[in-house]
């Protein structure tokens, strides 16, 4: 197995998952199709601010600095996420095309190759549509999607 855990996407949710997994003692690989973390936020209007208060918008383990104001500006939020990702293992500029079940894990087809992993975490959808194809991943108890756009699926091999 190449990796214990692979996370697809280095947006706020993928980075939060990586933080939690690192805290649990593993060092996941985060695979991101863009050339930087927080790609969706980098692409948003340069005058955009969070419409959720700073106190309710932070990642696990790291508050958004007070100097960013109540409703942080796009660039401040991007900088915050960039800093949050420091020390995480990132593979940028790499799109994940498929995730398929294998014996004991998952096979991921990526730009320029493939990876095997015991566990994979991916979004089940993005605002732009399906994050990956391959629908054989399992939704674990407690990971049901919320009503927001941030729908994630954890995939874990059956035991
Ligand atoms: C205009 C706008 C304003 C918003 N304002 C707020 C706000 O103020 N507060 C709030 O809480 N939420 C807000 N949201 C909701 C927003 O969706 C979240 O803030 C947040 O960006 C969602 O994080 P995410 O990690 O789930 O998704 P994203 O930020 O979309 O990150 C997903 C990442 O996965 C990558 N990816 C996708 N598919 C693949 C693939 N196949 N292979 C590799 N990488 C892949 C993408 O490139 C991206 O970097 C806003 C949304 C919009 C559109």
State whether the beta carbon of 17 lies less than 6 angstroms from ligand 1: no
Residue whose CA lies nearest to ligand 1 atom number 27:
11
Tokens linked to 87: 């020390």
Task: Return the CATH fold of 3-37+85-155.
Answer: FAD/NAD(P)-binding domain (3.50.50)
| Distance (Å, whole) CA 29 – CA 66 | 30
pLDDT in tens, 126-158: 555 444 544 444 332 333 333 233 344 555 554
Of 157, 134, 156, 153, the closest CA to residue 143 belongs to 153
Distance 99 CA to ligand 1 centre (A): 20
pLDDT in tens, 53-112: 999 999 999 999 999 999 999 999 999 999 999 999 999 999 999 999 999 999 999 999
Phi-psi region of 61 (alpha: psi -120 to 50; beta: other; left: phi over 0): left
Of 6, 3, 9, the closest CA to residue 32 belongs to 9
Distance 108 CA to ligand 1 centre (A): 21
Distance 40 CA to ligand 1 centre (A): 5
Strands 29-31 and 89-91: parallel
**Which pTM was predicted?**
0.86
């Amino acid at each position: 197995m190449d990796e214990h855990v692979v996370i697809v996407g280095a947006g706020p949710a993928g980075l939060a998952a990586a933080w939690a997994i690192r805290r649990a003692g593993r060092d996941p690989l985060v695979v991101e199709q863009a050339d930087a973390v927080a790609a969706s936020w980098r692409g948003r209007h340069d005058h955009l601010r969070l419409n959720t208060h700073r106190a309710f918008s932070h990642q696990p383990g790291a508050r958004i600095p007070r100097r960013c104001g109540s409703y942080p500006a796009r660039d401040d939020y991007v900088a915050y996420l960039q800093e949050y990702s420091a020390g995480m293992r990132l593979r940028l500029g790499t799109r994940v095309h498929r995730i398929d079940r294998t014996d004991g894990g998952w096979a991921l087809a990526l730009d320029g190759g493939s990876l095997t992993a015991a566990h994979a975490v991916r979004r089940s959808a993005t605002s732009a549509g399906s994050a990956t194809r391959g629908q054989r991943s399992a939704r674990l108890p407690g990971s049901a999607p919320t009503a927001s756009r941030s729908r994630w699926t954890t995939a874990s091999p059956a035991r």
